[in-house]
Amino acid sequence: MFTISIDQGTSSTRVFLVNEEGRIVKKFQRRITQIYPKPGWVEHDPNEILETVKDGLSNILEGVNPKDVKGIGITNQRETSVVWDAESGKPLYNAIVWQCRRTAPICEELKRKGLDDLIKDRTGLPLDPYFSGTKIKWLIENVDEVKESLKRGRLRFGTIDSFLIHSLTRERNHLTDLSNASRTMLFNLRTLKWDLDILEYLSIPMDILPKVVDSVGYFGETIHGIPILSVMGDQQSALFGQLCFKEGMVKVTYGTGAFILMNTGENLKKSKKLVSTIAWGMDGKVIYALEGSIFNCGTLIDWLVKVGLVSKPSETEDVAMSLEKNDDVYFVGAFSGLGAPHWDSRARGLFIGLTSDAGREHLVRSVLESIAYSVYEVAKLMEEDSGIELREIRVDGGVSKNNFLMQFQSDILGKEISRPVNRESTAMGVTFAAGVKSGIWKMEELEELRKTDRRFIPDESRRGRLMKNFDRWKEAVKRAMGWAR
């Protein structure tokens, strides 16, 4: 018996075939074209995304009897927004990616109207271009095809999961799950419904939105006869995939961005600077989480390659380790503004503390350290605001392969870090959920499927110096935030 996981991410589409031992036996991956129409704007072609998913399914199912596949799970880049025509299924504009900052003026106008506190209280999200709500408003106001489809009553909106469900299922279902809905800035975390007041403020019609359902359940059947049984936003899926089922368990995904999620159980915890969100809905029960989103992580490593400071991402580890300390050189990775806990879309990246003695080693090391500082900043605030002490930190994502960064992260957090053998936690989350729904596994059996690659134990003797460095880095962050003032 098998399950299939579709992981539609910011950089690529990946599809996995997983056997009943929880082992990935086949994998497909294809890069997604990044479109930058203007500075600060980021788009994807929805047709390209759909084609990569269809090609991935065809590739994975080659030589496999579809009857042996018990379910499909979909996990996706979350706030990325798609609009399409209900009858033709045709996308009406490029997908506006979560990184896109084009709606910053809309957010500023809403703040001037005093709506930021109301939106944060009801949705758990700060008023920021990161989330879907203002992206939808922009599409309705600026794209003629969207206006026309809306006038005809045929306009549909969805995050990537909704677009894929509609495009892949025989029933053409227009659905989303609780975790993705909670990222739109339109969903009320208390009522578990679309918030009518916020929709009115943004002039977004209710009938273009998908129906919200549990993250684990029946979403429709593909043309291959395989049911889609689980859907979660990528970071929530990684929390599930890391088996963070107990209150206080934390996962950090070091991917395109860095995302820290803490399971807060059935209790909705509020934070002024962090995001309250839904982890998943299952069997009619909702699990909540606190989240801190750091916009740039893997993108910083890619930039080091792009400008020639390293030839490949893995080289950063040895380069950073060639120095005993950072020699007071710091970096702020605000390439797309700053996410949690600052939420400053105008901030920009900077190096500071450079002297004539500084070399590429200092630049590379400072970039890696900046990632760890950003995660620490969010993690400590998460602990304070929730009143819950962080348990063991479970990590995943491509950048988590960097041993220098993981040890540095453990040292500054003062917490043990566990890295699994299978770092595809995002894909495994919806895989495990679909497998549980289809009866392949029971929830209590999942822990046996997670194998640990390495544990990083904090070196307490280093914490004093690292905390002083962190204070210096915070001063650099203030400089980065002051750039556009």
Q: 462 burial class (0-12, 13-18, 19+ CB within 10 angstroms)?
A: middle
Q: Are 134 and 105 in contact (CB under 8 A)?
A: no
Residue 28 has pLDDT above 80, yes or no: yes
Average pLDDT of span 181-192: 96
DSSP letters along 148-217, please? HHHHTT-EEEEEHHHHHHHHHBTT---EEEHHHHTTSS-EETTTTEE-HHHHHHHT--GGGSPEEE-SEE
What separation in angstroms does the CA of 396 have from each of 157, 186, 211, 421, 444? Answer: 31, 29, 31, 10, 22
2-235 CATH: 3.30.420.40
Residue 289 phi/psi, 5-degree rounding, is -150, 155
Tell me the C-alpha distance between 242 and 249, whole Å: 9
Residue 181 confidence (pLDDT): 97
Residue 336 confidence (pLDDT): 83
CB neighbours of residue 461 within 10 Å: 8
Average pLDDT of span 122-146: 94
What average pLDDT is seen over the chain?
94
Position 313 confidence tier, pLDDT thresholds 50, 70, 90: very high
Average pLDDT of span 282-303: 94
Average pLDDT of span 459-483: 91
Average pLDDT of span 345-367: 94
Q: Are 127 and 115 in contact (CB under 8 A)?
A: yes
Strands 393-396 and 417-420, sheet pairing: parallel
Residue 295 has pLDDT above 90, yes or no: no
Position 485 confidence tier, pLDDT thresholds 50, 70, 90: low
Residue 167 confidence (pLDDT): 96
Reduced to 3 states (helix: H, G, I; strand: E, B; else coil), residue 67 is helix
End-to-end CA distance of the chain: 58
Residue 484 confidence (pLDDT): 59
Residue 322 confidence (pLDDT): 96
Tell me the C-alpha distance between 212 and 115, whole Å: 24
Residue 247 has pLDDT above 70, yes or no: yes
Percent of all residues in the chain with a pLDDT value above 70, rounded to a whole number:
100
Percent of all residues in the chain with a pLDDT value above 90, rounded to a whole number:
85
The dihedral of CA 21, 26, 296, 111: what is its sign?
A: negative
Residue 391 has pLDDT above 80, yes or no: no
Tell me the C-alpha distance between 176 and 190, whole Å: 18
Residue 61 confidence (pLDDT): 95
Cis before 341? omega within 30: yes
Tell me the C-alpha distance between 90 and 446, whole Å: 39
Residue 192 has pLDDT above 80, yes or no: yes
Tell me the C-alpha distance between 208 and 147, whole Å: 12
Residue 447 has pLDDT above 90, yes or no: no
Task: Strands of 300-416 (E only): list them.
Answer: 330-332, 350-352, 393-396
pLDDT tens, position by position, 407-438: 999 999 999 999 999 888 899 999 999 999 99
Beta bridge partners of 169: 222
Domain coordinates in residue numbering, the chain: 2-235
